[in-house]
Structure 1
Amino acid sequence: MLPVSLLAAIVVVAVIVAKLMTIGRRPKNYPPGPPTLPILGNLHQMPKRDAHLQFTKWAREYGPVYSLILGTKTMVVLSSGEAVKSLLDKKSGIYSHRQEMYIGQELCSGGLRMLMMEYGPKWRMFRKMVHGLLNIASAKSYVPYQVLENKQMLYEFLTKPDEFLYSIRRYSNALTTTMVFGWRSATYDDPKMQQLFDGFSEFAELNQQGTAAIVDFFPILRRLPDFLLPARAKAKELHKHEKALYLGHWKKAKQDIRNNTIKPCFCVGMYESQKSEGFSDEQAAYISGTLLEAGSDTTSSTLYAFVQAMLLYPDVQKRAQAEIDRVVGENRMPTMEDERNLQYIRAIMKESLRWMPTTILGAVPHAVTQDDNYKGYLIPKGAGVINNVWGIHQDEKRYPNPRTFNPDRYMEDFQSLGEAAANPDASKRDQFTFGAGRRICPGIHVAERSLFLGISRTLWAFNIEPATDAAGKPIIPDPERLTQGFVCMPEEFPAKITPRSKAKANLVTEEWREAEAECLDASQQWKINPIKGKGDEKSVMC
């Protein structure tokens, strides 16, 4: 007969083994998904790059709602507009949480990044503040900023066309710094802008690595020493530099507010909120800093995708230019007042967002705060929920021939981006790039105007054609080659951007020179307040 102590030890070991063997298994009442392995679940099947292709392949195999078992955690993937509307929108009260992200939120962000912040009173307060300061009325007031930055972008297309990607990035970054902090990035060489783009790329890369996922899905690994978890030290170092950058921006804005020298911007409202709500400078810095990230990266990526589409679909470009010529003419550039008469341009904007979505897998997964049921399946409390934007946008039934860039899909869609996102009929939503539910991008109204002005004015002034190699052969980019990370864009490609006429080239130059003289000081910062007094003549000229 075995001693009692040995028998007890055997029982304990058996219980532990049995418990371990349940890790990685998919319970029968969960949404279906690919076969799992003990402990790992589906971790061994997670792709190292182009995850959107595998996620969409699984959607075709297992249906629009399927599950992945990732170590100790569950991930549910939504690949239909109906599922996104039913869960992330209609049940946003329980689907707006985030799973714990040790590398991304705790180490890289000091727990301060609103994008990754857990759903709760603090996040709701910040969300209310951000939406109040970036609502549709505020978005309209920022149009003078967008017009000026657009004029510089067009002038740079004219004078240094080979650097068009840099000009697009400067356009979106300068616009965002002005709207958030009240100052503009006058050149692409601005070291703070370089640090922003480089830092966010590093952040995205670090959080896409297997280490970040494994540590999240097996929390016990966080106890490992630093030499066995090098991502920890890298994340802390990234946070140190990022925090210094964002704090510098915020503290300068606060000083400008106190000196009454700041231009109208988001930080003015946040300064007042900080006085009433009492949140820290570090938190304010991360709220404003991550708005800067979002506004700089997503708009520029979509405009870059638009340029690629014009290379690949010259007939679309010609039709768009014909519409602009008919509505606007030769002697002036398109304005926001022309939007209602430029439906094909609006359709190109929407198709660019659908054809090459920047948040290809919905950026950061949502999480559900309580058990829920959908079409007979259990979605367990704590499960992550991915908005598979690419998969929805590749749905043949919703978008026939989805890899074809076809603006005609939207010729009868007169909704704004915000109206389409809020439409209770899931089939009437135009695209899913800006997210869903309470986590939808608060800058959607600003982005719509930036994209419309960028697309319409570029097509008014320029022809976009393939560059040629040394042998004179056109260089045609591959639209399936995308960068990796939270925010995607086409891999870098060359293009030939030339003015459509000498008269248009002259007007591009005149418009920028006039705006520069009237609106900017010697340091290329705003010398007037273009938002104060809508009837101010200088505001219109800028």
Structure 2
Amino acid sequence: MAVIGSSMGLPSVSDIFASNVLRLVLALLAASGLAGLLLDFARMLRLHRKMPPGPMPWPIIGNTHLLPKVKPWYYFEQLSKQFDSPVITFWIGRNPTVWINDAQSASELLEKKAAVYSSRPRMVVFAELTGMQQSSDPNAKVPGTNLVTMFYGERWRVHRKLTHQGVGLQQVRRYRGFQNDESKVIAYDILRSPEQYVAHYERYAASVVSIIGFNRRVSSIEDPIITEVIAVMQKAAELKVPGKEFPMLFETFPWMARLSPSLFPWIFKGLGRRRRGQEFFYTLAEEAHTKDPDQSCYVNDLFKEQPKYNLRKQEISSLAGNLFGAGSDTSSSTLITFTLACCAFPEVLPKVWEELDRVVGPHRSPSWEDEPELVYTKAFVKEVFRWRSVAIIGGQPHAPVSDDEWNGYIIPKGTWTQGNVWSIHHNEKDFPDPDRFNPDRYMKDSPESRPFPNEKGYMTFGWGRRVCSGQGLAEQGTFITVARMLWAFNIQKALDEQGNEVPVDIFSYTDGLNWRPQPFKCRFTVRSPEIRAAIEREGRQALQDLSEYDGESEAMDRFFKHNKQEA
């Protein structure tokens, strides 16, 4: 019958059997997939009940669909108010993330429990796709190449030690001389070309860390190292902001990160800039070491330590590059914010001028020796750090090395845990009228002063064992530069053709994690003829003193020429 049926075009018994088996297999696979999906969603719901409050997750996608296109820190601040909890849970795909939205909770979790929250979570986009985390397993034999993303452990301690040798609190005082001179050059440059103030800030910040790292200053605003460093750091900042578009969607669907870049080049666009940055920093490090291995600079110290710690090329590159991350883009962005604050809140300037005129006078600029007496100036600098903190969501996320408990809730081991600095610094309880720039908040006897969990009064540089390595360098440089700029200039809104002031927007900022004001014009008016003479005299002397660090980089020229040809 089977043969007859086959000859008449009817399905054979074997065909029917095979078809039924196929249907059964497909049904079993579908049932298995559905069961797996249900089990995974049950896991998500179980965690959702145990973790700090937040929106109900969906299967597979979690809460990713709720993310705004830009500036999610505003959204997490709103969620914190909506759920009446300073700590909330938000699901990125199948994984929960925890967001801390007030100073007290950040202190309790990230500072008082620093040993617990000392690691990093898995970061697919920023770390794995750029080669900085080579495994999603914190116990992997190769833990990564960069201190910033490295899981907590022995290799992290090596990198932290080497970083402290370059920019630790005990080291940065040695840099005050050339940092002060570069600050004098800012005032001198702005005196001559005030419309290029952003470029002058960027040159200053890049030059300071270039001297520390490579014993070579950046003397011109046209030096390509500035544009390359800013581009690399801004791209890195973009790759750390949660989002629902590619490439950040890889955090929701990590398996998609295995897709070939050649098949989907538009998805992987921009990651190449981050990888190119690793090559760029090693090129600078190798050249500086080859030119003069005995010269005192950070990269020579790294090459000396290379055999002891078995440092790979990528590790030397990341350690050198982190100097710029710690003190270049962030420092210049802080100074741009300072300038915006002066334009937007001119009423705060007379009080700081009175102090500077009384302590310093018009015939010289502020010095380190003046710092103890410049009480209000220091309060002004603190308010700059608070008002629009550059690392607006606190830099890199933390992750607990073991399950932790907060107010009866569970935060599982390895959970992406982020401090929302925007929300922390704009909490009405700690900072009334938070968008108003008001240095009086940091004057002890002022009625506007409020208690804060730490002595500094801000959380701009992170927390615990993962606090920004360049904090001391940034605070030191920002103080002397802000003090000098306030002493030298009246920084005001620009004027239009009719002589009317052009308004500035204190909310017009870029979208990356290390945000900065969108471009705006302003005026720099020298405060007196005596101050002008002092700026010119000190600027010329500073350039002479800094000349020992002048020099060209042949390796950098070759690097840019090679990459231009490839492009």
The normalised TM-score by structure 2 is: 0.85
Alignment counterpart, residue 243 of structure 1, candidates 278, 288, 298: 278
Alignment of 1:9-408 (within 5 A): 11-22=31-42, 25=45, 27-62=48-83, 63-111=85-133, 112-208=145-241, 210-226=245-261, 229-230=264-265, 233-234=268-269, 237-258=272-293, 260=294, 262=295, 264-408=296-440
| Cα separation, partners in 2 of 1:163 and 1:11, compared to 1, 3 Å | closer
SS at match of 1:86: helix
After superposition, give the CA deviation of every residue in 1:100-139 in whole Å (9 maximum; x if it has no partner): 2222112224543321222221112101221243222311
What is the rounded CA distance, in whole Å, between the counterparts of 1:249 and 1:502 in structure 2? 42
- The corresponding residue for 2:500 is 473
Q: Which amino acid aligns with 1:471?
A: Q
- The corresponding residue for 2:479 is 452
After superposition, give the CA deviation of every residue in 1:210-265 in whole Å (9 maximum; x if it has no partner): 3233212322223434366436643553244212211111102222442x3x3x43
Structure 1 range deviating more: 341-350 or 17-26: 17-26
What is the rounded CA distance, in whole Å, between the counterparts of 1:115 and 1:34 in structure 2? 30
What is the rounded CA distance, in whole Å, between the counterparts of 2:43 and 2:497 in structure 1? 57
Q: Which amino acid aligns with 1:484?
A: D
What is the rounded CA distance, in whole Å, between the counterparts of 1:323 and 1:336 in structure 2? 15
SS at match of 2:89: strand
Structure 2 unaligned residues grouped into runs of 5+? 1-19, 134-144, 553-567
Deviation at 1:162, TM superposition (A): 0.7
What is the rounded CA distance, in whole Å, between the counterparts of 1:350 and 1:522 in structure 2? 31
Q: Which amino acid aligns with 2:282?
A: L
SS at match of 2:120: coil
What is the rounded CA distance, in whole Å, between the counterparts of 2:337 and 2:37 in structure 1? 51
SS at match of 1:93: coil
What is the rounded CA distance, in whole Å, between the counterparts of 1:331 and 1:224 in structure 2? 63
Deviation at 1:207, TM superposition (A): 4.8
Deviation at 1:83, TM superposition (A): 1.6
Structure showing greater Rg: 2
What is the rounded CA distance, in whole Å, between the counterparts of 2:378 and 2:230 in structure 1? 28
| Cα separation, partners in 2 of 1:443 and 1:240, compared to 1, 3 Å | closer
What is the rounded CA distance, in whole Å, between the counterparts of 1:450 and 1:429 in structure 2? 16
In 2, are the aligned partners of 1:349 and 1:452 still within 8 Å (CA)? yes
Structure 1 range deviating more: 351-360 or 299-308: 299-308
SS at match of 1:386: strand
After superposition, give the CA deviation of every residue in 1:407-433 in whole Å (9 maximum; x if it has no partner): 01111299xxxxxxxx9x726441111
SS at match of 1:357: coil
In 1, are the aligned partners of 2:362 and 2:534 still within 8 Å (CA)? no
After superposition, give the CA deviation of every residue in 1:445-487 in whole Å (9 maximum; x if it has no partner): 1111101111111111111111012232211211111111120
SS at match of 2:504: coil
After superposition, give the CA deviation of every residue in 1:134-167 in whole Å (9 maximum; x if it has no partner): 2223111100111110111011110001111111
| Cα separation, partners in 2 of 1:22 and 1:224, compared to 1, 3 Å | farther
Q: What percentage of aligned pairs have identical amino acids?
A: 30
Structure 1 unaligned residues grouped into runs of 5+? 415-422, 526-542
What is the rounded CA distance, in whole Å, between the counterparts of 1:285 and 1:225 in structure 2? 26
| Cα separation, partners in 2 of 1:211 and 1:325, compared to 1, 3 Å | same
SS at match of 1:465: strand
Q: Which amino acid aligns with 1:45?
A: L
What is the rounded CA distance, in whole Å, between the counterparts of 1:327 and 1:204 in structure 2? 39
- The corresponding residue for 2:140 is none
Alignment counterpart, residue 525 of structure 2, candidates 480, 492, 498: 498
What is the rounded CA distance, in whole Å, between the counterparts of 1:522 and 1:401 in structure 2? 45
SS at match of 1:77: strand
Q: Which amino acid aligns with 1:60?
A: K
After superposition, give the CA deviation of every residue in 1:374-397 in whole Å (9 maximum; x if it has no partner): 110010122100111110101111
Q: Which amino acid aligns with 2:39?
A: K
Q: Which amino acid aligns with 1:520?
A: S
What is the rounded CA distance, in whole Å, between the counterparts of 1:308 and 1:292 in structure 2? 23
- The corresponding residue for 1:538 is none
What is the rounded CA distance, in whole Å, between the counterparts of 2:50 and 2:167 in structure 1? 41
Report the count of equivalent residues.
512
Deviation at 1:37, TM superposition (A): 2.5
Q: Which amino acid aligns with 1:255?
A: T
In 1, are the aligned partners of 2:182 and 2:542 still within 8 Å (CA)? no
| Cα separation, partners in 2 of 1:388 and 1:222, compared to 1, 3 Å | same
What is the rounded CA distance, in whole Å, between the counterparts of 1:253 and 1:232 in structure 2? 36
What is the rounded CA distance, in whole Å, between the counterparts of 1:397 and 1:518 in structure 2? 48
Structure 1 range deviating more: 450-459 or 14-23: 14-23
What is the rounded CA distance, in whole Å, between the counterparts of 1:8 and 1:240 in structure 2? 44
SS at match of 1:116: coil
Alignment counterpart, residue 469 of structure 2, candidates 410, 434, 442: 442
Structure 1 range deviating more: 176-185 or 30-39: 30-39
Task: Report the aligned-residue RMSD.
Answer: 2.5
In 1, are the aligned partners of 2:216 and 2:550 still within 8 Å (CA)? no
